[in-house]
Amino acid sequence: MSFEYSAKTLDLMERLNAFMDEHIYPNEQRFFAEVAEGDRWQPTRLIEALKVKAKAAGLWNLFLPESEYGAGLSNLEYAPLCEIMGRVIWAPEVFNCSAPDTGNMEVLVRYGTPEQQERWLKPLLAGEIRSAFAMTEPEVASSDATNIACRIERDGDEYVINGRKWWTSGANDPRCKIFIVMGKTDPDNPNRHRQQSMILVPRDTQGVKIVRHLPVFGYDDAPHGHAEIVFDNVRVPASNILLGEGRGFEIAQGRLGPGRIHHCMRLIGLAERALEKMCKRSLQRVAFGKPVAAQTVTLERIAESRILIDSARLLTLKAAYMMDTVGNKVAAKEIAMIKVAAPNMACQVIDWAIQAHGGGGVTDDFGLAYAYAQARTLRLADGPDEVHRNAIGKMELAKYVGKDAIKAYVGASGVSRA
């Protein structure tokens, strides 16, 4: 196992760092100022202008391994680049590398028909439109995908969709033109993995109603946002189904692997940034006759942060390496491990950074409160910690009793998102 960065990655890292220095860090506050001007649910001039520059600089669609559409990077090669973008919460979109579009583009690349790709993938790759992924529902515990109640029913040449979703990230953005919706086409199928399907629903279809946006610890994440949506007798052509009826769970598994690891890569960047701020601030502030940095508790926290970040990075690189070499399915345990480790690591490091900033830490002056809110949600989004830990535990136990016998010991939990 070699984690050495390739020449291609090193070159891109250098160019990406230069871009961040020139265009992203100096504009960090401008982004929030633009969002605060007038209608918050409009794209910012800043991001739209920087997208043009990033494209021109060849820093575009860096995700997408094994595809002619991306930059031709493996997951391992992409990891340090995604980390750099993750240092500023809004930066990934500048490079067309933000969630949930990256996951949705992967779905369209891997499972879309040529017509679906032409209609939706091309404008997404060009950064002209955005997309959302609607799986979670308010009425059912959606950690367990078998609970999903939204119905997708065939009616002649169309499918009719009825259901209520929430936490559909990005749906509030007016550029968001397409939803990938997960629902049940065959709720009575005895194979619980084959009841679900995914279907493409253009946002402007009659019957799609965005009910409200959902704040995260009071942050609206505008203009991206997270929406609750009702699908009321929404009709789309039958050709909008992805991969075929009953294949939704299969797509979900394929989609969530890369998406999860991208979140982890970004969180490592976010935690690095928090540690940087913790060090600088605690060196400057003097309390009880010495810099806060010189208090042993601060030194301990700085040291522990470095250990946690570097451990999470290594585990992320290992998961990326395995995805590249043995595939997402075999790498499931490593993906689940890092999905638990990275958000917990980031929450801890950011929390210590907040503490080192005193009252300033919980204001918006240092970006730490917002960073914490983001990191904390990732202990839930893409499946809660517990579900991933259950999966890891079962894989570990299966070494001793076999994969099939494991249910007899720990019970058959539902078909989880893990």
Ligand X SMILES: Cc1cc2nc3c(=O)[nH]c(=O)nc-3n(C[C@H](O)[C@H](O)[C@H](O)COP(=O)(O)OP(=O)(O)OC[C@H]3O[C@@H](n4cnc5c(N)ncnc54)[C@H](O)[C@@H]3O)c2cc1C
Residues forming the site for ligand X (CB under 6 A): 100, 133-136, 141-143, 167-169, 216, 226, 377, 380-384, 386-387, 390, 413, 417
Sign of CA dihedral 168, 170, 173, 178: negative
Rounded Cα distance between 369 and 410, Å, is 39
Distance in angstroms between the alpha carbons of the first and the last residue of the chain: 25
Of 300 and 386, nearer to ligand X (C-beta) is: 386
Closest approach of ligand X to the CB of residue 43, in Å: 18
Quick check: 180 and 198 in contact, CB under 8 A?
yes
Closest approach of ligand X to the CB of residue 174, in Å: 17
Of 56 and 412, nearer to ligand X (C-beta) is: 412
Of 44 and 168, nearer to ligand X (C-beta) is: 168
Closest approach of ligand X to the CB of residue 325, in Å: 28
- Residue 33 sits at the vertex; the CA angle it makes with 284 and 52, to the nearest 5 degrees, is 105
Closest approach of ligand X to the CB of residue 364, in Å: 18
Closest approach of ligand X to the CB of residue 33, in Å: 23
Q: Residue 154 has which token pair?
A: 């065939």
Of 112 and 225, nearer to ligand X (C-beta) is: 225
Closest approach of ligand X to the CB of residue 15, in Å: 30
Type of residue at 291 = P
Of 80 and 103, nearer to ligand X (C-beta) is: 103
Rounded Cα distance between 282 and 288, Å, is 13
Closest approach of ligand X to the CB of residue 221, in Å: 7
Rounded Cα distance between 14 and 25, Å, is 15
Give the torsion through C-alpha atoms of 293, 295, 296, 299, to 10 deg: -10
What burial letters (b/e) apply to 243-274, b meaning 16+ CB within 10 Å? bebbbbbbbbbbbbbbbbbbbbbbbbbbbbbb
All residues at 6 or more sequence positions from 408 whose CB lies less than 8 Å from its CB, including other chains? 401
Bridge partners (DSSP) listed for residue 210: 229
Rounded Cα distance between 109 and 117, Å, is 7
Alpha carbon separation from 174 to 164, 177, 260, 292, 367 (Å, rounded): 20, 7, 25, 45, 26
Sign of CA dihedral 347, 350, 352, 354: negative
Q: What is the β-pairing status of strands 158-169 and 226-237?
A: antiparallel
Of 105 and 135, nearer to ligand X (C-beta) is: 135
Of 12 and 375, nearer to ligand X (C-beta) is: 375
Write out the DSSP string of 342-391: HHHHHHHHHHHHHHHTGGGGGSSSSSHHHHHHHHHHTTTTTS-HHHHHHH
Closest approach of ligand X to the CB of residue 226, in Å: 5
Residues in the chain: 418
Of 102 and 305, nearer to ligand X (C-beta) is: 102
Of 178 and 387, nearer to ligand X (C-beta) is: 387
Closest approach of ligand X to the CB of residue 378, in Å: 8
Of 109 and 216, nearer to ligand X (C-beta) is: 216
Closest approach of ligand X to the CB of residue 173, in Å: 12
Closest approach of ligand X to the CB of residue 294, in Å: 38
Bridge partners (DSSP) listed for residue 291: 286
Of 226 and 357, nearer to ligand X (C-beta) is: 226
Rounded Cα distance between 175 and 410, Å, is 45
Q: Residue 32 has which token pair?
A: 């929030």
